[in-house]
Structure 1
Amino acid sequence: MTRTTPARPVPVEAVFPELAAHRGRTTRLHPRPGRPGPRDSHVGGPMLWPDGEPWPVCREPHRRETEGYVPDEIRSARAAGSRPPVRPWPGTTTPGEEGPVPFTGLAQLFRRDVPGLAAGPDGADMAQLFRCPFTHGPHLEVRYRLHWRRAAEAERAERFLCAPPEVPLLRWEHDLPEPCVLHPEEVDTYPWAEDDTLPASLIARIDAWDDAQVAEYGPGALSYQSDLSIPPGWRVGGFPSWASTGPMAIVCTSCPAPMRLLLTAEGSEMDGGSHSWVPAEDRDSVLSGRDAVRNVGTVARPTRLRFGRDRDLHVFTCPADPRHPPRWVLS
């Protein structure tokens, strides 16, 4: 099934004609629980990983844990609609002290499925995203890894890894992604309106419009940030959202180039202020507003993942040289 974003509640460029010069495109991925295969683009599905090639691991020291959740028990509990039991941590060592910790595969994207996906090093057209299942240091930092491939070369492998290694316990249930199929859809998008992301005079007009909406319609009124600019959820390309941190200049650590947004991963596809973006296929045409959303749990948190304290994970890459290290920003 395709997913179709409804027209914006008001025509954005009719209200703010200056935004036409700043219009961009983003590909909404619309993950929904399913059974993706290793040759599919997905969140949480099986990676296309040649057998015999080492699975990525984290070799850094990790924060000591005392309890967690068994991955298979998480899967069983989700299938039964229940909560998995908490288990004590096996042994007395810190995670990682007995050897490297395998990364958890989060997502796999092919350019043939997601045309807006930027090319990787040497023309790579498949991106694989991983996350270390444990935290690091006193600030509970999380490590991510981006792995690029040429899809045609990977698909020629004779055998593929069927069961990637897993840690015995995950600290949180939301560290395990739910396998999701994707329904890519390109939509127009506009920059976050704060600081110098847009001309100051235009930001002032947007702020005044938002205030007028609240004065007329109350707390649930439309707003530029929630309803008109950047869609929620997993998306490729477009503009970053800066709800938690405010706008940041992301510059490559290997050269002076400003980095571009490759991918945004988000734990929630919908919240109280963004339900206007819910696709038509997930709505009841008889009802309106948030009440019209069918299967709210599946639509709102299809991947079961969280990033930080319900923030967006932005993955930036260098447009001057895709071989330069990516940067990871929680906002």
Structure 2
Amino acid sequence: MGFTTPDKPVDVAALFPELAGLTRTAVRLYPRRGETTAQESSLGGPLLWPANEPWPVCGDDDHMADAGVPVPVVAAPLVSVAQFYSRDVPELPFPEGTDVCQVLWCPRGHEPYYTPRFRVLWRDSASVAEVAVAPEPDREHSDVDFLPNPCRIAPERVVEYPQLRELPSDGLRERIVAWEREQKWDYSEHLSAAPGTKVGGWMEWIQDPFRPDCARGHRMTPLLTVSDSEISGWETWMPMEVVSRIAFHKEVRFGLANGGTGRTWLGPDQELDPAVAGISGSRVVPESVVEVPVPDFSALPDELGVEFGGGNLYVFVCPTCPERPIEVEYQR
């Protein structure tokens, strides 16, 4: 099944021409549970791993138990996070002679943020004669929130712009902020960078931007964002195929006779009666009532099955160095 991001309600590059030169293409992945093979691109699925190559393990002693206490060293196997063939995601910086990108992590919390530790490999699929079967995860010594479910992907290309904090000039930021005051749209949330798990593009930052350089001083570029949510800025980013089948309820906002405001949530067929509604004895002003449809996010399935406390893990790669070093940032 494919997914389609709706057209944006506003052409921000027409309003702010400087943005036209800042576009990047992101590949939204839309993980959905399903069996895959080592010959397919996937998230959390089997990897095209040579049978004659040892499976990587993590024996580092800087991983932490839930209470923040170091646990004994255990050489736990890394687990599959992603596999991308160049035929499906050609946007990745594949080194010459390779056509497969594999992302693994240690499914335990490592210092300093109690997050997984990544490893990224690049392969030539034609060189793999016999495929290994991945070892079972060490569930006893793993964090269950870091064990991805096998998922199919449905790559979709979208054009993105940098969030407000990454714009190149204060003047452009100030103009966009002034424009936002007259709009229902938030530039960073609704019109710039897509939420969810994706390849490349601009980052959907939760905190301040992180712009790493490799050890040789080259600016690194986004490789992969792994997210535990796809619902940020849903009005413009939720794919039409999901909107058409998800249940909605209503957020009802209203003003009060005493000058205050309030809100409540109703089912899709319910209506607010201003004559009987109110807060602390102050009645609702009928002409102030505004209804806003809101998806029932609890009905959205948890597909990839990873949890970072409402955060994102960002993987950066140096496209210049032949060994493709990576850096990882976590934000929540």
Q: Same fold (TM over 0.5)?
A: yes
Q: Structure 1 residue 125: deviation in Å?
A: 2.0
1:276 aligned residue = 236
Q: Structure 1 residue 203: deviation in Å?
A: 1.0
Compared with structure 1, are the counterparts of its residues 264 and 286 closer, same or farther at alpha carbon in structure 2 (3 Å cutoff)? Answer: closer
| Alignment RMSD | 2.6
Determine the C-alpha separation between the residues in 2 that align with 1:168 and 1:294: 29
Determine the C-alpha separation between the residues in 2 that align with 1:137 and 1:202: 38
Compared with structure 1, are the counterparts of its residues 287 and 20 closer, same or farther at alpha carbon in structure 2 (3 Å cutoff)? Answer: farther
Compared with structure 1, are the counterparts of its residues 286 and 295 closer, same or farther at alpha carbon in structure 2 (3 Å cutoff)? Answer: closer
Determine the C-alpha separation between the residues in 1 that align with 2:133 and 2:319: 34
Contact 1:284–1:293 (Cα < 8 Å) also in 2: no
- 1:129 is aligned with what amino acid? V
Determine the C-alpha separation between the residues in 2 that align with 1:226 and 1:329: 20
Q: Structure 1 residue 12: deviation in Å?
A: 2.2
More strand by share: 2
Determine the C-alpha separation between the residues in 1 that align with 2:246 and 2:107: 43
Instruction: Map 1:205-220 to 2 at 5 A.
Output: 205-213=175-183
Q: Does 1:169 align with 2:130?
A: no
TM-score by length of 2: 0.78
Q: Structure 1 residue 181: deviation in Å?
A: 0.4
More helix by share: 1
TM-score by length of 1: 0.78
Contact 2:50–2:132 (Cα < 8 Å) also in 1: yes
Determine the C-alpha separation between the residues in 2 that align with 1:138 and 1:249: 18
Contact 2:146–2:306 (Cα < 8 Å) also in 1: yes
Compared with structure 1, are the counterparts of its residues 209 and 186 closer, same or farther at alpha carbon in structure 2 (3 Å cutoff)? Answer: same
Compared with structure 1, are the counterparts of its residues 61 and 21 closer, same or farther at alpha carbon in structure 2 (3 Å cutoff)? Answer: same
Instruction: Map 1:94-105 to 2 at 5 A.
Output: 94-97=71-74, 100-105=75-80
User: Once the two structures are superposed, what CA deviation does each residue of 1:139-180 show, in whole Å capped at 9, x if it has no partner?
Assistant: 5353111111112223xx1x3222424214255432211111
Compared with structure 1, are the counterparts of its residues 172 and 320 closer, same or farther at alpha carbon in structure 2 (3 Å cutoff)? Answer: closer
Q: Does 1:22 align with 2:25?
A: no
- 1:257 is aligned with what amino acid? H
Q: Does 1:180 align with 2:157?
A: no
Contact 1:134–1:142 (Cα < 8 Å) also in 2: yes
Higher RCO structure, 1 or 2 (CA under 8 Å, sep 6+)? 1
2:41 aligned residue = 41
Determine the C-alpha separation between the residues in 2 that align with 1:279 and 1:66: 36
Contact 1:107–1:128 (Cα < 8 Å) also in 2: yes
Q: Does 1:192 align with 2:192?
A: no
Q: Does 1:135 align with 2:98?
A: no
Q: Secondary structure at the match of 1:142?
A: strand
Contact 1:278–1:293 (Cα < 8 Å) also in 2: no
Q: Secondary structure at the match of 1:130?
A: strand
Compared with structure 1, are the counterparts of its residues 312 and 238 closer, same or farther at alpha carbon in structure 2 (3 Å cutoff)? Answer: same
- 2:163 is aligned with what amino acid? W
Determine the C-alpha separation between the residues in 2 that align with 1:286 and 1:306: 22
Q: Structure 1 residue 9: deviation in Å?
A: 2.2
- 1:208 is aligned with what amino acid? A
Determine the C-alpha separation between the residues in 2 that align with 1:207 and 1:222: 11
What percentage of aligned pairs have identical amino acids? 35
Q: Which structure has the bigger radius of gyration? A: 2
Contact 1:101–1:167 (Cα < 8 Å) also in 2: yes
Compared with structure 1, are the counterparts of its residues 131 and 17 closer, same or farther at alpha carbon in structure 2 (3 Å cutoff)? Answer: same
Determine the C-alpha separation between the residues in 1 that align with 2:145 and 2:211: 30
1:257 aligned residue = 218
Bigger mean CA offset, 123-132 vs 138-147: 138-147
Give the number of equivalent residue pairs: 286
1:297 aligned residue = 300
Compared with structure 1, are the counterparts of its residues 163 and 136 closer, same or farther at alpha carbon in structure 2 (3 Å cutoff)? Answer: closer
Contact 1:44–1:178 (Cα < 8 Å) also in 2: yes
1:202 aligned residue = 172
- 1:305 is aligned with what amino acid? V
Contact 1:282–1:294 (Cα < 8 Å) also in 2: no
Instruction: Map 1:92-131 to 2 at 5 A.
Output: 94-97=71-74, 100-120=75-95, 122-131=96-105
Contact 2:5–2:238 (Cα < 8 Å) also in 1: yes
Determine the C-alpha separation between the residues in 2 that align with 1:317 and 1:34: 28
Q: Secondary structure at the match of 1:135?
A: strand
Q: Structure 1 residue 252: deviation in Å?
A: 0.8
